[in-house]
């Protein structure tokens, strides 16, 4: 017996030694970031490093964690439920024979540079030690943007159906003394509020189970400041991540007894059990990561660059300035009201007019939100001239034209609901709950996908002069039930609804690649890179009040570039908050994103119209810097002194635009704004725009970038709503 035990030990030792000899490093990197893994046949894939670039990672081949084998696994790339893993699993499955365990072992990997030489793709092949279940871990590295994305492809080769309980896109272990989590929270009209939490041992999750319009309360994005409990714009080590998925999501942060933070990110597993049939592959959504030694600002700029270059449809084509009809006309309009608004928009220098809700429905006319949704026929009583008349009128005035649709939803009082009750998301014998007097169509059903595509397609056929579609979605998914899904696969709805939306958008973009499309979703409901793969911009919030927008736009900017942030000037008192703000302050806030207007111009005074023309003209002068420049946040709108600024710096550092705001009464305090991101040796001439006469001592003077960063400028703000926009241009100056 002793001799047999000795032989078994010898064989195990020889096998372990042989595996160790075959270990290799998998070095995935960008210009400044490295993700380094270690693998050997028959072993789990370990993740050794995610952070700053390591030019020569070879010494990490000998890395030892000294973790006791009885205390948990090593830091693996994709932890599973089974083996020694005590953490929440990235993959938890029930195999065909009832086996609850999965242990993924390395098979091979390959790395290829894509046609775009900035991008490399690495695929790591793994399989379960016992069952015929394979998982490919796919990493895409974007060199210049310093972004690495990752997803998993789960393939069933077993003799029946495997049940997936959890199937995250990625797992990322991090090691630091402290972890400060920064994330967004909020509610409708109060989105993208920033919260900082110093993580303690145990788990914290950021999640949504709303199915549709998922980002009002939470956003699938985060920043982690490593080794510090202080959030800093310009310094410190930061890891940022954001999930490209428009459905239920979950980000889980588990700080273990070894002081390792284990991050899981992907589709929310709650209620989403997925039956993977034999021969099928399930592909998880993309998780997007970056790393910065330049604080939160550096992480944001990386994500903004990646978004514009790879994550946003037409990421280098800004949406025109526009007048939207909603807050100016709502459901009450006719052709004359709309053409008058177009005349006023053209006179103020705007570039597009958008007709919002209320233009459709005949049997059930869309005169309020209680009827007509789903019946996409032009309302003959309101617009007997048709949509082409309005769109052509806009084009004749030199404006582009856009129109509103909400194709995923339906009013019970509609011809569509009468004709296709089977298309509505509901469970037999249960009443479908109403939100905004509407129900949800089942986009997991291919027939509904055809209908939704048809809504877009037929709307585009209303006129050859339609340039822009505002795609709204005004409710979440709840009390779900699908007549299309099998009885034992009802949980598939949560995933297949989102996949159905993407299938529709793929068809739309194949036919209409140049049409501008906004993801509205009640404002702030689809602010994530899954939607932005198909949309040009998002409606940042239904709240257009400028003071509140300062925080909403600040939070959004942590992860998403100004290019996608639609921001409108609206009436006072504001319809959401009742607040009264000066017109200049409203413009100076809106011009930090994609500026537009949402009011009835006829209610403006001549002075206000002139002020609007001036602000719009100024915006066009520097808009390219806002849309494509590097963002530097100067303070935050949460700071106690109530002063906040942002700077957009052109890529060549020859121009910059600075927005400065006073968000509270300053008394005798004069704020100082130090402007980062400029070339230290370049002379910049400062000119305030959106004013009728100079106001500050530094107007027209030139200073080098070093002085502007270290000494700054001091506009004499004293009251709440004081604001200024400064254009900096390289030149000799005086």
Helix (H) or strand (E) holding 706: helix 705-710
Sort strands 352-355 and 400-405 into parallel, antiparallel or unpaired. Answer: parallel
- Annotation says 542 is catalytic: yes
- Could you give phi then psi for residue 546, rounded to 5 degrees? -65, -40
What's the helix, strand, coil split of the chain in %, to 5? Answer: 25, 30, 45
Burial class (CB in 10 A: 0-12, 13-18, 19+), 203: middle
Helix (H) or strand (E) holding 724: strand 723-730
Sort strands 400-405 and 179-185 into parallel, antiparallel or unpaired. Answer: unpaired
Q: What per-residue string of b and e applies to 37-54 under the rule 16 or more CB within 10 Å gives b?
A: bbbbeebbbbbbbbbeeb
- Annotation says 388 is catalytic: no
Give all strands (DSSP E) within 186-279, no chain letters: 193-198, 202-208, 221-226, 237-244, 249-255, 260-267, 274-276
Count of other CB atoms within 10 angstroms of residue 182: 20
**DSSP secondary structure string for all residues of 497-537:** HHHHHHHHHHHHHHH-TTSEEEE-TTTTTT-SHHHHTT-SE
Q: Catalytic residue, from 27, 357, 542, 588: name it.
A: 542
Cis peptide before 573 (omega within 30 of 0): yes
Q: Cα–Cα–Cα angle for 491, 497, 498, nearest 5°? A: 115
Count of other CB atoms within 10 angstroms of residue 197: 12
Chain centroid to Cα 402, Å, comes to: 23
Contact 152, 168 (CB under 8 A): yes
Angle 606-628/583-590 helices, nearest 10 degrees?
20
Contact 718, 663 (CB under 8 A): no
456 vs 473: CA distance, rounded Å: 14
Q: Catalytic residue, from 472, 536, 588, 630: name it.
A: 472
CA-wise closest residue to 252 among 86, 46, 83, 90:
90
CA-wise closest residue to 89 among 28, 159, 170, 6:
170
Give all strands (DSSP E) within 316-359, no chain letters: 322-324, 352-355
**DSSP secondary structure string for all residues of 427-493:** -TTSPPPPBTTBEEB-TTSHHHHHHHHHHHHHHHTT-TT--EEEE-------S---SSS-GGGGGGH
How far does the chain reach from its first CA to its final CA, in angstroms?
94
Residues in the chain: 734
**Residues noted as catalytic:** 472, 542
């Amino acid at each position: 017996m002793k001799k047999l035990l000795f032989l078994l030990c010898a064989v195990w030792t020889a096998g372990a030694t042989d595996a160790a000899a075959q270990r290799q490093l998998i070095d995935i990197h960008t210009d400044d970031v490295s993700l380094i893994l270690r693998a050997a046949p028959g072993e789990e894939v370990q993740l050794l490093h995610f952070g700053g670039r390591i030019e020569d990672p070879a010494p990490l081949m000998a890395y030892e964690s000294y973790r006791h084998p009885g205390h948990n696994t090593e830091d693996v790339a994709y932890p599973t439920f089974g083996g020694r893993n005590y953490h929440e699993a990235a993959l938890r499955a029930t195999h065909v024979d009832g086996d609850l365990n999965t242990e993924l072992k390395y098979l091979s990997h390959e790395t290829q540079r894509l046609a775009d030489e900035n991008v490399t793709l690495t695929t790591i092949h793994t399989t379960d030690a016992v069952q015929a279940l394979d998982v490919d871990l796919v990493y895409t590295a974007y060199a210049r943007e310093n972004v690495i994305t990752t997803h998993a492809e789960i393939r069933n080769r077993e003799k029946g159906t495997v049940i997936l309980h959890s199937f995250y896109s990625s797992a990322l272990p991090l090691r630091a003394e402290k972890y400060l989590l920064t994330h967004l929270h909020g509610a409708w009209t109060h989105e993208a509020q920033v919260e900082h939490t110093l993580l303690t041992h145990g788990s914290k999750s950021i999640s949504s189970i709303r199915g549709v319009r998922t980002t009002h309360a939470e956003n699938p994005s985060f920043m982690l400041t490593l080794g510090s409990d202080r959030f800093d714009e310009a310094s410190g080590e930061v890891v940022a991540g954001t999930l490209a998925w428009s459905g239920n999501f979950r980000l889980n942060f588990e700080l273990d007894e070894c002081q390792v933070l284990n991050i899981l990110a992907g589709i929310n597993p709650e209620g989403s059990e997925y039956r993977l049939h034999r021969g099928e592959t399930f592909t998880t959504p993309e998780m997007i990561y970056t790393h910065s030694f330049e604080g939160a600002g550096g992480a944001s700029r990386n994500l903004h660059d990646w978004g514009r270059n790879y994550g946003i449809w037409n990421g280098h084509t800004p949406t025109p300035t526009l007048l939207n009809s909603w807050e100016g006309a709502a459901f009450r309009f006719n052709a004359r009201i709309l053409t008058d608004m177009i005349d006023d928009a053209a006179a103020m220098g705007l570039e597009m007019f958008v007709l919002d809700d209320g233009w459709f429905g005949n049997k059930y006319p869309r005169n309020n939100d209680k009827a007509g949704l789903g019946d996409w026929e032009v309302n003959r009583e309101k617009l007997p001239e048709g949509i082409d008349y309005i769109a052509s009128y806009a084009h004749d005035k030199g404006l582009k034209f856009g129109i509103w649709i909400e194709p995923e939803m339906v009013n019970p009082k509609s011809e569509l609901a009468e004709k296709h009750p089977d298309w509505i998301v509901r469970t037999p014998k249960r009443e479908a709950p109403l939100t905004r007097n509407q129900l949800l169509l089942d986009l997991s059903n291919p027939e509904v996908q055809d209908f939704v595509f048809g809504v877009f397609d037929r709307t585009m056929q209303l006129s050859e002069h339609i340039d822009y579609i505002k795609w709204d979605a005004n409710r979440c998914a709840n009390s779900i039930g699908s007549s299309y899904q099998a009885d034992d696969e009802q949980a598939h709805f949560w995933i297949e609804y989102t996949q159905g939306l993407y299938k529709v958008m793929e068809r739309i973009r194949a036919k209409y690649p140049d049409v501008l499309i906004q993801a509205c979703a009640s404002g702030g409901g689809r602010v994530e890179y899954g939607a932005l793969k198909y949309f040009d911009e998002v409606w940042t919030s239904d709240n257009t009040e400028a003071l509140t927008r300062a925080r909403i736009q600040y939070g959004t900017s942590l992860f998403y570039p100004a290019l996608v942030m639609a921001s409108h000037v609206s009436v006072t008192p504001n319809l959401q908050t009742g607040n009264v703000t000066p017109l200049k302050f409203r413009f100076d806030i809106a011009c930090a994103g994609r500026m537009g207007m949402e009011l009835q111009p006829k209610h403006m005074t001549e002075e206000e119209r002139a002020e609007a023309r001036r602000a719009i003209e100024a915006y066009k002068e520097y808009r390219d810097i806002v849309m494509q420049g590097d963002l530097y946040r100067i303070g935050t709108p949460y700071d106690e002194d109530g002063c906040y600024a942002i700077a957009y710096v052109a890529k060549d550092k020859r121009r910059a635009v600075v927005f400065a705001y006073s968000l509270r009464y300053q008394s005798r305090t004069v704020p100082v704004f130090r402007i980062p991101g400029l070339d230290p040796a370049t002379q910049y001439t400062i000119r305030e725009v959106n004013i009728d006469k100079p106001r500050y001592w530094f107007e027209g003077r030139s200073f080098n970038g070093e002085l502007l960063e270290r000494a700054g400028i001091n506009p004499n703000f004293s009251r709440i709503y004081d604001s200024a926009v400064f254009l900096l241009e390289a030149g000799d100056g005086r």
